[in-house]
Every structure is written in C-alpha cells, then in structure tokens.
Structure 1
Amino acid sequence: MSTWPVVSLSQLSDGYISPVARSKAPLFCSVISIYITIPIIGLFFTGVPGSMVVTWTTFNKTESKVEYGLLGGRLFDMSAKGDAALFVDSGEEMRKMYIHRVTLTDLKPTATYVYHCGSEEGWSDMFSFTALNDSTSFSPRFAVYGDMGNENPQSLARLQKETQLGMYDVILHVGDFAYDMHEDNARVGDEFMRQIQSIAAYVPYMTCPGNHESTYNFSNYRNRFSMPGQTESLWYSWNLGSAHIISLSTEVYFYLEFGQELLFKQYEWLKKDLEEANKPENRAVRPWIITMGHRPMYCSDDDQDDCTKFDSYVRLGLNDTKPPAPGLEDLFYHYGVDVELWAHEHTYERLWPVYGDKVYNGSKEQPYVNPKAPVHIITGSAGCREKTDRFNPNPKEWSAFRSTDYGYTRMQVVNATHLYLEQVSDDQYGKVIDSIWVVKEKHGFSAWF
C-alpha cells in the first residue's frame, strides 16, 4: 500500500449562470454538464517564485480579471488584470475564442488562495490553490502521465479525486491531449479542457507537446497552454524543491515541415539550459535534473513505432538533415540528467539505468542506488480512444518492469539524495503495482563513474 500523503478535500461551489451570460462568462462545472459552452480555467506555474498564471477562455471579448484572497480571510480582497488573446482555430468554421491570461504575483509560499475569474459581465465558480513552496528543501509531489483523451479517459476520475484530496503539488502531462484538440473545429479541445478543469484549476498543470497536437502546426496546444519562457510552451525549464525540470518537444524530430530550424534551436537551448543547471552553485541547491518529453528513447512495445526499432530519432538524431541533427541521449548523459519521463507508448515501462542501449545499474542488489546512467520511465497509459498497446514478448535487457494496465505515475522529489516513483493501476482500483527509490549521493556527469 502506498504511503502517499492525503489531506482534506477542497470545497467546490456549484454556481448557476443564466444562458444569456454563458457566452461571456467562464463557466465550468462537472464533466457531465454537456450544455456548457465555454472551456477551461487552468493554473500554470510561471517559473517565478510567488507567482501563478490563471488562464480561461470565452467566446466574446471581455475583460481579463482574477479576484482572489487568502483562504479564511476576506473573499476577493485582491485582484489582478491581464490580457485576452484572440485564437482562431484553423478548422472549416474558423472558430474564434479569447484566451485570457492573468498573472498573480507576490503570493505567499504554501498559502492557500480562493479565486474566481472573469469580468463584471460574468464570473466563474470559486476555486482554490496553494502557492508553491519556494524552498529548496521542499519535497514536491507530482502526478505524471501522458496520452489522455476525451474518449476513454480511464484514469481521469481517480486523478480528479486525488487532486482535490490535496495529494499533488503539480501535474505533469507528458504530451497527447484530448485525441485530438483540433477535431470538430476545436470543440474536442474545449471539452477536454473542461474535463481536466477539476485538476487544472487547483494545481499547476505543466505540459509538453505530443504528436496528437501537430495539426495546424500545434496551434491548439500553443494557444491553450501557458508554460514558462517565450517558446509558446514548446520547451522550457523551471525549478521546484531540489529539482530542475526541463520540458521539451520530441516532435521537432518528426514534423520538419513546420521548420527544421526548431530542432536545432531547441538543441542549442537545451545545451545552454543544462550548462547553467550544472554550474556548481546551481547543482548544489538543485541537484536533481528531470526531463519530460513525449516520445521515449527506449521502449519494448510491439507497435512498430520509432523507439521499438531501437533507433529512436530522439535518442540518436537524424542523418538526413543538413547538417545532421543531433539526438538527445549523449547530451543528457554528458550533463548528468537523473530521471527522464516519457509517454507516447500506451503502457507503463520502467527501465534499468540505461545508456547506449546498455544497462548501467548502481549494483546488482541495488540498481537505483547511485545508478551509472539515467533512469527512464514511460507512462502513457492514462486512457484514450486508442486503448493500450501490446508489448514485445522478448524485450531487451534494459526493460525492468512492464504493465498494460491503465494508470499513471506518482513522483516525489524527497530531498537532494532521494527520489520516489510509483505506478498506480486504475484497472486494479488504485493499487500501486510498481515502485522504486532512486538514491544518488552524487549528481552530474561524474556520478556515472
């Protein structure tokens, strides 16, 4: 049984807004309220301590305003204004929507705030969030998963409940949303955002792009999510507790028609970001480097996808570009990346520490204690219309544990030396079917030797 901590359930409100006001107000209730016409309210961490971005959507141009206050204090005694950007979907109807973004600043670490958003023309229900702890000794708790769609989102109900129970500080959605956000002139995207609101309105929902976001040059993804940095959420990094977390786009290796230069631009950015994270003064306070990207470097699924051929573009790069495009395995190894989170394959797979297609365990008895290569986790079985994948019956030696159950991963960066991972099976009613402790007394390139 998991010892994952649980706290009290947040209060939800079920306000009513008239049909006339629905076109102007950000209205969200439960996922079964099919008459609702406006998509999500979501929280995204800016990467700057003491701040949070609140995002919502309306179909009319209105003011962008968030009213908020400390839990237990006077409601809405603070307010902040932002901007609304027009997003025109590229489908036949060219549907228009306004994406509102308001940044809340000077938040007190660990304090809980109650908020609503909208304008004098209509307000959302009330929601709450806890400002992230900015201490490097903080032990953040994550839910990690990819590949969750509107149809057959099997893990969603359990994730909604656990989020509202206060079990997570941050959500990491490792690509592939809705299946697909652009469909039905982006109405599928609207519905997906409503579905995850009962998660994303309460904790920061951090993302990376997957292949199912590629239509119209990833426009639904780039417009609907608000990640740190200036790259339209394609790649970015941020710090939390003793971890430096990097989100990247594996899709730059597969959709060269949208700009081959993106591949090289991301690689150079990754190199500079890793160089900065590895400066002794930075790695001393944030020793863990964790990456999240959609398509894995390794996997043992039997679906003839990129990583099943053991020649992953993400891992080894491309030779048919000018100049040849470098892969990411050597880069991540050289800069001592500790844990690599992936999805795309609709399964869960834990690998032994691996580099260059070879296993480098810490020891036979304790493979994840001072491992000699990065630890890879594939967690793409949250649930979607494409169902789960099958496994190759004869995996390579780096495959340590595999499951085709629907589910998701929990991760806690406990301190500078200990990181905990466990896999939850939704098929088995929330049972923890796999768990490991990654223990590292040293971090960085020198830790491999």
Structure 2
Amino acid sequence: MWFMCNHSSFLSVTTLYSHQPDGKMVTFLAAYVLLNFAPLLVLSVPPIWTQPEQVHLSYAGIPGSMVVTWTTFNKTDSMVEYGLQGGRLFEMSAKGDATIFVDSGEEKRKMFIHRVTLTGLKPAATYVYHCGSDEGWSDIFSFTALNSSFSFSPRFALYGDLGNENPQSLARLQKETQLGMYDVILHIGDFAYDMHEDNARIGDEFMRQIQSIAAYVPYMTCPGNHEATYNFSNYRNRFSMPGQTESLWYSWNLGSAHIISFSTEVYFYLEYGMDLIFKQYNWLKDDLEEANKPENRAKRPWIITMGHRPMYCSDDDQDDCTKYDSWVRVGRTDIKPPAPGLEDLFYQYGVDLELWAHEHTYERLWPVYGDKVYNGSKEQPYVNPKAPVHIITGSAGCRERTDRFNPNPKEWSAFRSTDYGYSRMQVVNATHIYLEQVSDDQYGKVIDSTWVVKEKHGFSSWLTSF
C-alpha cells in the first residue's frame, strides 16, 4: 500500500537517480523506505516516563519529619533535594525507595510509587524542595515543617468525597492552601470517583489535581467505600500514612490533639477479611488507652477521630445510617463472632470530636451518645458537652452531586446544608476548638461556625457538672 500511495514520488526518485550505480540506488531506496516507515516504528516504542508527578506530602508521625510521595511510570532513583527558604537552594538531600504498583485492571498498568522521608526538620521552618532524580525533577514546592509544641494551634481543612469530575471546592482549596491558610488537610475518604477506573488513569489524574494542595501541606487520609475495588489497592499504594497498616488506620499528634484515622469499611467489605474488624478494634482500644494515660492526656487533651461513614446522619438517600443502626456505631450481630461497634469504645475513652464524610452534605450534630442528646447546657450546648460532637463534611464535590435531607431529622441534628463546600478546624488550645463550614456555592461564605469548649477531658468529663 505504501508503494501505491507514494507511486509518483517513487518514480521521480527512480528517474532522478537512474544514472547512479546500482549499489547506490539500492542504498537510497532502503533509506527512503525506512524514512517513510519511521512514524510507524516510533509508535511501537513505549514512551519514557521518568518525570515525577502526583507529588504529595504526609506527616510521618515523628516530630521533625515529612514524607514526600510521587509517581513515575519508569524506574528511577528516589531523591528529594531541599533547603530552608531564603537559604541556598537544594543544599540538603535525602534518598528513599520506590515500590512497584501494578493496577489490577485489564491493562495491568505499572507505576512506581516513590517515598522519601525527610528528618531533622526545624519546627515551623519553611523549606523549598523538589523531588525526582537526574532523569527528571518535579517543579519546586515549599512546605512548613510541623510545629512540635503542645501549644501549637494547627489549622485544618477537612472534607470527604472529592472527585475527579465536578470537584467544585477544589479551586478554592487550592488557592487557600497556597495562601498559607492551612497546616494540614484531612481527606475523610472517597477519592477521585474512582481511582481504579480506566485502568487507574482516573487515580493518576486525581492525584495530579490535588498536587497543588498536597505538595504544600501534609495530606492526611482515611479510606472510604469508593476505594474498595481490588481490596483498596489504589488507596493502600498511593498514600503514605504513619504506622505499618498501609494507611488503613493510624494515629498521630499535633498541638494539643491526638488524631486517629480509621477505616469504617472493615464493617462492610468482609470478603477482604472479617478479621480486620477485630484487628482494628483492638488497635483502637490500645491506642486510646495509651492516649488516655494521665501524662499523655495532660499534654494532648483533645482526642479527634476521622472515619468515612458516619454513626449518625439525616440524609434521605436510604443508605447506611438512614436505613438501620449504623454498623460502625453498634457493630454487627449478623456475623460470627459478633463484631463490636465503636460508639461505646469512643465514649468510654472520652473521644471529644468525631469527623465523618460519605453523605454528600454538611451536618453538625448536638453532642450525642446512644441516639440521645447530651448538651453541656441549653444555653451553651458545646461548652463542656456530655457526649462526643459529630461533624459530617462530605460535600466537597463529585460526580454523584449532593444528597437530599430527610425532612424530619432526629433531635440530635443541629445544622444542615446541601451546599457544596468544606470545613475548617483550628485546635486553638487545650480547652477550645473552632469549627466552621465554607459554602462554595456562596463564594466562600462561612455558613456555620461553632466553638467546642472543654475544661476537662476524658470519660469523667461526661459525668462532671461545672
């Protein structure tokens, strides 16, 4: 076919070189054929992907540390070059490792996930960095090392259910992060919608989208139901949380808070191991016992949890806690052995604040335990509350849009909004936490705000009269 399509040019070349010796004519024709076939030959050679992408930070859980994670599609070295802002650029360097992640989709796409842990960072100092290798470097980013002081007042953005399609809150979060408004981001499950789709290309694109947030502040996560495909493999491989549980559950300290991230999904995907319910429960119990030792609770009196599916909610989507008593809250009696829920455990160890997502709405609850309201007082419900405070923030934006509310919520529902948006939190000191909800639909307006005030923490605070 090539000779037919190029017949005229072939004749002109033959005529032009008809006076040349046969050997030269053959050589020229061979070169000419190769030249015309070159585009087809190039298409059969896979591209070289050594350029870092999907750069994101996470806190290693050790003061003075930060983990830098990124992706390449060919094997390269794993290096971070960094230096103090205002100092000599890239005067320090750290090496790490890359692990191969093979997606379980039809194409079995392979990627290299690089992790480098920076240590010995000066608290509250700002660093400039890039990551990669001599085969390709990322853009230059910066971050502020976390302050290790107990009196530090960290500022958080928190949300769940942010998708690759219709990520309505993303642009505002990107700008606010780069303005330095946050010390940490908490993403409370459900990423990309969904990371495994299109042979994990949706996961790649989502991680590129959040790079403009996550490359500047620690991006701390927990798994949601949309990560479940292939046994949560995209979630477990792409993120780098503290501990040795592939980011499924872990805890860390910041300022006057002890923060616990856990998986609500162990109650729902029993095909991946029923034992995970009990492993996580026992880990949570041990972690809460340690956090409640008098010397530890004195330093970090606030205990905050984050998990994807809420114990309570009032959405009208016939899902989870609108259909039955939440398995996360009360456990599962339909399996053997029966699996314990988490509400009693969290109450027993004095968990102060519980952060959730999954419902594509925002809802603030009155202090609640056992389906009943336990306000601090009628006039000041969040001052010395007699039960944990729950916040649901799952309206950051995804292809499933927002949910509708049940028109007749239970008495524990204090404030509700179906606006797209996200939450902010500041752990101000040992007695005060400030929370507010931002509406992206209303151009960044704060539509709800609350102070949670506790003069005493721990189980005894539920029983104490002030």
- TM-score, normalised to structure 1, is 0.92
Instruction: For residue 40 of structure 1, give the secondary structure of its aligned residue in structure 2.
Output: strand
Is residue 48 of structure 1 aligned with residue 62 of structure 2? yes
Q: Amino acid of the residue matched to residue 210 of structure 1? A: G
- 1:221-264 superposed Cα distances (whole Å, 9 cap, x missing partner): 00000000000000000000000000000000000000000010
Deviations 1:155-197 (A, max 9, x none): 0000000000000000000000000000000000000000000
- Residue 24 of structure 1 corresponds to which residue in structure 2? 50
Matching of residue 287 in structure 1 with residue 301 in structure 2: yes
Instruction: Please tell me the residue identity of whatever aligns with 1:389.
Output: D
Say if 2:431 is the partner of 1:417.
Answer: yes
For 2:105, which of 76, 91, 105 is the aligned residue? 91
**1:191 aligned counterpart, secondary structure:** helix
Question: For residue 290 of structure 2, what is the amino acid of its counterpart?
Answer: E
In the alignment, the residues of structure 1 paired with residue 376 and residue 438 of structure 2 have an alpha-carbon distance, to the nearest angstrom, of 25
CA shift for structure 1 position 421: 0.2
Alignment partner, residue 7 of structure 1: none
- Alignment check: 8 A CA contact 1:153 1:384 kept: yes
Please say which structure displays the higher CA radius of gyration. 2
Unaligned runs of 5+ in 2: 1-45
Instruction: Name the counterpart of 2:149.
Output: 135
Q: Aligned to 1:263, which of 269, 277, 281?
A: 277
- Offset, 1:321: 1.6
For 1:312, the equivalent position in structure 2 comes to 326
Residue range with higher mean Cα deviation, 212-221 or 316-325: 316-325
1:5 is matched with none
For residues 281-328 of structure 1, the C-alpha deviation after alignment (integer angstroms, 9 at most, x for no partner) is: 000000000000000000000001111134000000000121100000
Output aligned runs, 1:113-124, within 5 Å: 113-124=127-138
Instruction: Check the 8 A contact 2:188/2:222 in 1, yes or no.
Output: yes
Distance 2:449 2:186 in 1: 18
Contact 1:21 1:122 in 2 (8 A): no
Task: Work out whether 1:200 is the aligned partner of 2:214.
Answer: yes
Q: Alignment identity in percent?
A: 87
The residue type equivalent to 1:67 in the other structure is: E
> 2-side partners of 1:419 and 1:289: how far apart?
11
In the aligned structure 2, how far is the partner of 1:203 from the partner of 1:393?
39
- SS of the residue aligned with 2:414? strand
Q: Are 1:397 and 2:414 an aligned pair? A: no
Equivalent residue of 1:311, what SS? Answer: coil
Following the alignment from structure 1 to structure 2, what is the Cα–Cα distance between the partners of residues 268 and 290?
18
DSSP 3-state at the match of 1:442: coil
Counterparts of 1:192 and 1:122 in 2: how far apart (Å)? Answer: 21
1:68 aligns with 2:82: yes
Structure 1 residue 25 displacement after superposition:
1.3
Alignment partners' CA distance in 1, 2:66 and 2:336: 41
CA deviations on 1:42-84 (whole Å, 9 max, x unpaired) are 0000000000000000000000000000000000000000000
Aligned residue for 1:84, secondary structure, equals strand
Looking at structure 2, the residues matched to 231 and 446 of structure 1 have their Cα atoms a distance apart, in angstroms, of 31
Task: Give matches, 1:203-242, under 5 Å.
Answer: 203-242=217-256
Query: Which of 428, 438, 441 is the equivalent residue of 2:452?
Result: 438
Residue 381 (structure 2) aligns with: 367
Contact kept, 8 Å, 1:21 with 1:121, in 2: the verdict is: no
Q: Partner residue of 2:365?
A: 351
Gaps of 5+ in 1: 1-19, 27-38
Secondary structure of the residue aligned to 2:182 is coil
How far off its partner does 1:21 sit?
8.9
Asked whether the 8 Å contact 1:182–1:215 carries over to 2, the reply is: yes
8 Å Cα contact 2:48-2:74 kept in structure 1: no
Q: Could you state the TM-score of these two structures normalised by the residue count of structure 2?
A: 0.89
Decide whether aligned partners of structure 1 residues 437 and 22 sit closer, same or farther in structure 2, where only a CA change above 3 A counts: farther
Instruction: Report the counterpart of residue 154 of structure 1 in structure 2.
Output: 168
Amino acid at match of 2:100: L
Secondary structure in 1 matching 2:90: coil
Query: 4+ runs of 1 displaced by more than 3 Å?
Result: none
Q: Which residue of 2 aligns with 1:385?
A: 399
**Aligned position for 1:10:** none
Q: 2:286 aligns with which of 272, 284, 290?
A: 272
Work out whether 1:187 is the aligned partner of 2:195: no
TM-superposition CA deviations, 1:100-139 (whole Å, max 9, x none): 0000000000100000000011111100000000000000
Q: Cα RMSD over matched residues?
A: 0.9
Where 1:372 maps in the other structure, the secondary structure is coil
